[in-house]
Amino acid sequence: MMLLQALTDSTVAAPVADQGLSLIDLLGKGGIVMFPLGLLFVATLFIIIERFMGIGSNGKIDNQFVDNVKDFIQQGNLKSAESSCRNQRNAAGRIFDRAIGRIGYPIKDIETSIETASQIEIQRMEGNLGYLGVIAGIAPMLGFVGTISGIIRIFYDISLSNDFNISTIASGMYEKMITSGTGLIIGLIAYAGYHLLNMKIDRFALRLQMAASDFLDVLQKPVSSK
């Protein structure tokens, strides 16, 4: 009977020993530092998604639109060209609309107008991207702060209890290093998002420069206003 009881107890205890921590429970062991890290994670995802959608909608340059604008200008139909630009409702449409409004002025003035409008639109696209750079630097450091404070707490408790148990130290260490790992992951996501979105803006700027160059070439030809 005693043998059966021992086997029964070991059978019941075995599944409990095999149970692992869920991700939420594991993150919860990181301590209070996990709250600001959680806010940084949410902010990172929000900025990346919001900027990706914003750059995607404003950074479109339809080749058909550029060709139509050039055709209208060559025909001297400036009103149709302006209407086509305003129907675009994106950065390229606003830039070319402003440039068309300067037709009749020297080419240098029109070129300056395009450059100024382009810089304004690019700065709009870069809005909030600076926060990703800040998060990429702050999140890992905040994670390390949580780890260091946790280690200090562990050794402070040991000094009070005089119980230097390696299992206690190991369990406390892995719990406190959760903040470091979380901070590094958040920083990596913010860093990657920052540079990928900037690459997307750079591609738009290059395409815009090519379209603007073609636009200015068309203006070199005689234009008869209607």
Judged by average pLDDT, the poorest of 51-55, 138-142, 222-226 is 222-226
More confident residue, 155 or 200: 200
Global pTM reads: 0.75
pLDDT of residue 21: 56
Is the pLDDT reported for residue 7 higher than 60?
no
- Mean pLDDT of the residues in the chain: 80
User: Can you give the C-alpha Rg of the chain in angstroms?
Assistant: 30
In the chain, where the domains are located = 29-219
Stretch 109-120: mean pLDDT: 90
Stretch 198-218: mean pLDDT: 89
More confident residue, 220 or 78: 78
**Would you place residue 135 in the very low, low, confident or very high pLDDT band (cuts 50, 70, 90)?**
very high
Residue 97 C-beta-side C-alpha neighbours within 13 Å: 14
**Contact, 54 vs 125, CB < 8 A?**
yes
pLDDT over 90, % of the chain: 23
pLDDT tens digits along 154-176: 777 677 767 666 666 666 676 67
CA angle 35, 40, 44 (to 5 degrees): 150
pLDDT of residue 14: 39
Is the pLDDT reported for residue 16 higher than 60?
no
Please state, in angstroms and rounded to a whole number, the distance separating the CA atoms of residues 40 and 37: 5
More confident residue, 152 or 89: 89
Q: Would the CA dihedral through 209, 212, 214, 216 be positive or negative?
A: negative
**Contact, 94 vs 58, CB < 8 A?**
no
